[in-house]
Amino acid sequence: MLMMLIAGIAVLAFISASAMFLIWWERKVSAHIQSRFGPMRVGWHGVLQPIADAVKLLLKEDIRPAEADKLVWWLAPFFAVVPPVMAFAAIPFGKSLIPKDLNVGILYIMAISSVCVIGIFMAGWGSNNKYSLLGGMRSAAQIVSYEIPMILSMITVVMHANSLSMQKIVEAQSRHWNILHPNMLLAALVYTIAATAEVNRAPFDIPEAESELVAGFHTEYSGMKFAMFFIGEYTNLFIIAAISTTLFFGGWHGPFLPPVVWFLSKTYLCIFIWMWVRWTFPRARVDQLMAFAWKVLTPIAFVNLAITGWLLLK
């Protein structure tokens, strides 16, 4: 009982620290790609910037649009934050550093992450604003479509490891990482693209496409509610990076250094690549996005699944 409590508190503390670090890091990475400096004033090279942002958001006035659907609008941020936090229960940080090694780990994470789309859709509907509604609808379509290639690519890993449990998947890569197999490489690519669409990041960030929909589904949120969406987005980013590390890059395996250091560095390297992609490419259009998911990624994922099955049966 005490262990569970400590594990829970540790996870929450890590999430907060990680979200703060990611906010700072995203701004620095984007700034240097755009040949400018980013936050420099608050603390050494701006490291205290996330704290300044948090204080600002806490002190902001909480404005509610008069015509908004009260309960739906108020509940939406919770649906954006709580599922990613819950998904942390099955992320393997180290050899025995996992809050709970569920024997259906990966399935649990996928199921819980799918609940996020409800939050976005509730935000879009509850705001009583045409722009937000468009953003919410686009997001629902996008996330639901991209779940299929994502899960299909994860299934290839599960087939290799013979288990849904996260720790067993990592242990199955003790000899060599999963990504070194060619069919796993393909699965990793499909997963990376699908996961970018799952967390609404560029080039698939149309739900919050600033230049078209002002701020998309979170137009009408200010203050702490907006902070909830923001933290939810960065937590989601960490989760998909953690999953990609676990499934494809060997999890916490690595010589000399303690496993948790390996896990974290691999995860943050994946996050860096996601950030790099965000600040380099333009945005895809809604129908092109959907066509890509259904006509390109899903067939490739299915073919990959068949190839994996054949390879395993050989």
Partner 1 sequence: MNTSQTKDICTEEFLINMGPQHPSTHGVLSLELKLDGEMIRDCTAHIGYLHRSMEKLAENRTYTQFIPYTDRLDYVASMNNNMGYVMAVEKLLNLEISDRAKYIRVIAAELNRIASHLIAIGTFAQDLGAFATPLFYCFREREKIIDIFDQICGNRLTYNYMRIGGVQFDLPKGIDEKIKKFIKYMRSKVDDYDWLLTYNTIFLARSKHIGLLPKDLAINYSVSGPNLRASGVKWDLRKDEPYLVYEKLEFDIPVGENGDSWDRYKVRLEEIRQSLKIVEQALGALPEGDPTVKIGRIHKPSPSEIYLRTENPRGELGFFIISDGSAYPYRLKIRSPSFSNLAVLPELVKGLKIADIVCILGSLDILMGETDR
**If 0-12 CB within 10 Å is exposed, 13-18 middle and 19+ buried, where does residue 129 land?**
buried
Size of the site for partner 1 (CB under 8 A): 29
Is residue 265 a contact point for partner 1 (CB under 8 A)? no
Is residue 253 a contact point for partner 1 (CB under 8 A)? no
Q: Under rule CB under 8 A, which residues in 8-47 are in contact with partner 1?
A: 30, 33-36
Alpha-carbon span 238 to 272, nearest angstrom: 11
Q: Which window, 53-61, 86-94, 169-177, 198-206, contacts partner 1 (CB under 8 A)? A: 198-206
* Nearer Cβ to partner 1 (7/290): 290
Q: Which window, 47-55, 210-218, 267-275, 304-312, contacts partner 1 (CB under 8 A)? A: 210-218
188 contacts 248 by C-beta, under 8 angstroms: yes
Alpha-carbon span 38 to 31, nearest angstrom: 5
Is residue 277 a contact point for partner 1 (CB under 8 A)? no
Q: Minimal CA–CA distance to 87: which of 186, 198, 173?
A: 198
* Nearer Cβ to partner 1 (34/174): 34
* Nearer Cβ to partner 1 (32/100): 32
Closest separation between CB of residue 213 and partner 1, Å?
A: 8
Say which residue the tokens 């990504």 belong to: 179
In terms of phi and psi (left: phi > 0; alpha: psi -120 to 50; beta: otherwise), the region of 154 is alpha
Is residue 67 a contact point for partner 1 (CB under 8 A)? no
Q: Under rule CB under 8 A, which residues in 127-166 are in contact with partner 1?
A: 130-131, 134
Is residue 203 a contact point for partner 1 (CB under 8 A)? yes
What residues make contact with partner 1 under the rule CB under 8 A? 30, 33-36, 130-131, 134, 202-203, 205-206, 209-214, 278-288
